[in-house]
A and B are shown apart, each in its own frame.
Chain A
Amino acid sequence: MSRFNDDNLRLAKEIIGRYPKARSATIPLLHLAQQQEGHLSDEAMAHVAELVGATPAEVLGTASFYEMFKFEPVGRYLINICGTMSCALGGSDELLAHAEKVLGVKVGGTTADGLFTLERAECQAACTEAPNMQVNYRHCHRMTNELFDRLVDDLRSGRRDGDIPAHGTLARVRQQIPAERAVGPAALDDRGAPAWLPAKEVGG
């Protein structure tokens, strides 16, 4: 269950084909693994390592650098309430306290039904819309307690399924690259410029 399923394995191989060095596909593949499972399990990271020709320790090292990769299961909806200056002035502390009460979990916790994980985040680059929060990295501007309650209600009943996919899904639409434009693997001792660099750039 933790390794890529057949569809995703096919997709993973296609993604790898877009890069001259398989390792460059590490992060896209980690996103794919997180999309499949909601978080990165050890087995998933080991599978990514196998596919890109790295060691699992290297994959773990890369993944753990990034806050958006989760190593423990998180809820179907990951709620990040911004706590940086503008949002704090706009009332995000109160919003957070309200969220804790409504969901019945503390910051960092996941509801018993596995639906929500609540986190506090740093600046989400939406200061003009304070207080801001995100659900699965989709912005919710100028939040109030009432808007929050309605959002939770909508998420619970599936009314937002159209615009907020499950946690781990970054984009609904995948970039399509025709097979003939894939770069394919570079030979081990190929020290030349990557195939996708136009000749004029190489010449300097």
Chain B
Amino acid sequence: MSDTVKPTETTPQVASDPDAVSITVNGVEHAARKGQLLIDALADAGEYVPRFCYHERLSPVGKCRMCLVECDTGRGPAITVSCMVPVAPGMKVDTQGETTKRMQEGVLELFLANHPLDCPVCDKGGECPLQDQAVSHGPGESRYLEEKRHFEKPIAVSDLVYLDRERCILCDRCTRFADEVGSDALIHFAGRGNNTYITTFPDQPFASYFSGNTVQICPVGALTARPYRFKARPWDLRQQESTCTTCAVGCRIAVQSSHDEVLRHLGVDSDPVNHGWLCDRGRFNYEQLHSADRVLQPLVRAGDDLLPATWSEALAEAATALGAAKAAGGAGSIAVLGGARGTNEDAYAWARLAHEVIGTPNVYAQMGDGLPADLLVLERATIDEAAAASTVVLIGPDLKEELPVLYLRLREAAVKGRTRLLEFTPKLSGLSTVAWRSIAYEPGTLTAAIDTALADDQIAAQLASGPVVVVAGRANLAESSTATVQAVRTVLAKVPGSTVLPAFRRGNVIGALQVGMRPTEGGLDTRGVLQAAADGGIECLVLLGADPVADFPDADLARRALAGARRVIAVDTFLTASSAQADVVLAACAFAEKAGTTTNIEGRVSPVARQVTPAGSTRPDWMIAVELAEALGGDLGYDDVGQITADIAENVDGYTRVTPEALSAAADGVVAYAPTGIGPVALLAGEAPARSSYDFRLIVSRTLYDQAEGTAHSPSLAHLTTATTVHVNPLDLGRIGTTDGATVKLTSSKASVVCTITGDESVLRGTAWMPFRHPGVDPRELIDCFAHTTDLRIENP
């Protein structure tokens, strides 16, 4: 059934469980687990009980009564709601008897009394639990002749989700999801009895980052996704399991297509990773595949224009550029940045091309907007370990905005009381309300805040009480990553035995770094490369799906670097702010157009499937690397992607277990840690200066819907981005002498910009927050990547 797509793995035998509870199912003995709900025990015993409201990942509510069975606990057979009753020793269950059948028929007849005969025009038709169960367990005919309920339809409950109230069977799945899992209880039942309906509050849409999950778990066609409405019938869809590479959580998904076009992503329930959930960005950004802006063939510069070229022309052009660069400045004058947006195979082929064929040490997959790869040498934790730790120390970005499904996992752990979150944040985050302690600090004072916190008796006792996992990421692009690195080291030094879950963001950044997209001896990191390029020291800059002009925190340096690099080769799916300036653009395949593997934040490697034919004449990055190597007189020795997967297992530290065979056998991927020490990280010397009391310390961080290429080229998501404004605490508005919504002038050591100001209680006094990569004013103009922090003067213009 579509709502619980399961990985293809067999569950472990229950019989070996010491907590076994023996029950009888239709006359056959079965060993259930203590505390298990009867409905799950029956499923384990091979008796799938029909259901609508029950969902393994939501708390049971017993709302639909479809799961009724006859159960004898020693007092005679009784009709029992199997999703609400835990197993008890000696239970005798009958799922096939006449009584059970009659109850099931009765329940379905009642549901269908009001359910419209919409199936031929309903998205759910063909994969609908109501349709399926009406056929398998229904009475076949109805005694109801009365008029059915009518509602206005469809109602847009959000920009992405439509509601047909007539179809709703009031199962409480969407509402429970919104409340329990998504933490946005913006949809709710209203009314009572026969007049109950699902609604949002007037003028307050169901604007949740996770709204698409409700569409997937709705057992009828009451909730539909706008991007998919009327696009396909389920029986026309082909699907493969894959892994979302939009961010580095690596949620398992089913990619579905019809007529060679990707039309839908569904969440697959991977127990260690996503529990079946996806964020809306990962769910809907497949639309970018069909964007008219895709680069469909190679392009070669002729004066001001990039003109279409054949692959052989473009590859020859690129090889010439690399050769000329090497001749002019040596291999060290060539740099390769990027690789995080592709597969491990792409990254490995490119790392070999760069290091072995070209011979440059200047290779890096981090764009200067995250943390240095060095953190990956630390003892690593999995998501499950974090969600089971007694304390999670959060030092990083708002996970709801950057790694949404990790946010769901940690929120659940905190809400269920398993884990206490000790959060250090420059601005209230999505987790602040559920954190045990949320410590807001002003940028530049993080280590001091940590020292103070760790000296607190209660906090020290909490940290000593059990396993500690540090979730470490870059909270603020206007502050150097040095602060975070030092903070993480401080915690690790003071809390021995704690492990680290790196909150790195870009899809396959960890994989790219681990398989080799990182500097070797004497090589430069991204900031170093850009600085060298700006100074005229880079003869050829290769951008492998990287867009430093839009992503590197210091806009000025990135701009000067692109202007200063003598030759630029870009491998990309779109013409970005950076690739549009290239001399050669090699047209790359996008997600779902190429196969391979990807590595998530935990180091978990899982397969990425090729579901559709690559657009135009685009090629996978690895193939481009192979051909470029050949044009340069080298030979990487690959002619299909599987060879690279095998090669990685053989040659990359930590990947020995990640063989193609192991990957195809493990539904949840294989965890690989490859240490990626690159020598001492380029930390900034000295300390952050104190802030003058007239100034505001700047915080710049991402939100889920920014102008990233994938979002900007997905029409359903693109308009969800809001214009940049500068946020300050409402109490500071008066201090500046301005009001909410007014225009102000922001001046930093780098630049001066004019921007709208917003009062925002989630921002600390004395600090100012701006979103990264939103339309309008670009806060990166204000940032100096060689400074510890960025201070602003905010004035009336």
Query: Which residues of chain A have a CB within 8 Å of any CB of chain B?
Result: 42, 45-46, 54-61, 64-66, 188-189, 191
Contacts and interface: CB of A to CB of B under 8 A. Distances in A.
Nearest to B192: A65
Contacts of A54: 185
Contacts of A57: 185-188, 199-201, 204
B199 A60 contact: yes
Interface in B159-195: 179, 184-192
A72 to B, nearest CB: 13
Q: Is the interface of B mostly helix, strand, loop or mixed?
A: mixed
A60 B201 contact: yes
B204 A61 contact: no
Nearest to B436: A189
Contact of A58 (B185, B192, B417, B434): B185
Nearest to B420: A189
B27 interface: no
Contact of B434 (A45, A60, A64, A188): A188
A55 B192 contact: no
A56 B204 contact: yes
B633 interface: no
Interface string B121-135: 000000000000000
Interface string B417-450: 1001000000000000010100000000000000
Nearest to B187: A57
A55 B199 contact: no
A61 B201 CA distance: 9
27 contacts: A42-B201, A42-B203, A54-B185, A55-B184, A55-B185, A55-B201, A57-B185, A57-B187, A57-B188, A57-B200, A57-B204, A58-B185, A58-B188, A59-B201, A60-B190, A60-B201, A61-B188, A61-B189, A61-B190, A64-B191, A65-B191, A65-B192, A188-B434, A189-B417, A189-B420, A189-B436, A191-B417
B201 A56 contact: yes
Interface of B: 179, 184-192, 199-204, 417, 420, 434, 436
Contacts of B184: 55
B201 A45 contact: yes
Contacts of B200: 57
Contacts of A55: 184-186, 188, 201, 204
Nearest to B197: A64
A170 to B, nearest CB: 20
A64 B192 contact: yes
Nearest to A64: B190
B205 to A, nearest CB: 10
B591 to A, nearest CB: 34
Nearest to A53: B433
B202 A42 contact: yes
B177 to A, nearest CB: 14
Given A54-B185, A57-B186, A57-B201, 19 more contacts: A42-B202, A42-B203, A45-B201, A46-B201, A55-B186, A56-B204, A57-B187, A57-B200, A57-B204, A58-B179, A59-B201, A60-B188, A60-B201, A61-B190, A61-B199, A64-B191, A188-B434, A188-B436, A189-B420
A65 B534 CA distance: 66
Contacts of A188: 434, 436
A61 B172 CA distance: 13
A155 B192 CA distance: 33
Nearest to A63: B190
Contacts of B192: 64-66
A66 to B, nearest CB: 8
A188 B414 CA distance: 10
A159 to B, nearest CB: 37
B204 to A, nearest CB: 6
Nearest to B175: A61
Nearest to B200: A57
B181 to A, nearest CB: 15
A194 B767 CA distance: 39
Most chain-B Cβ atoms within 10 A of its Cβ — which of A42, A57, A58?
Answer: A57
A42 B202 CA distance: 7
Contacts of A189: 417, 420, 436
Contacts of A56: 201, 204
B565 to A, nearest CB: 51
Contacts of B189: 61
A147 B201 CA distance: 43
Contacts of A61: 188-190, 199
Nearest to A62: B188
B201 to A, nearest CB: 4
A56 B417 CA distance: 26
Contacts of A46: 201
A125 to B, nearest CB: 19
Contacts of B188: 55, 57-58, 60-61
Contacts of A42: 201-203
A59 B190 CA distance: 9
A157 B578 CA distance: 79
Contacts of A66: 192
Contacts of B434: 188
A151 B203 CA distance: 41
B703 to A, nearest CB: 20
Contacts of B436: 188-189
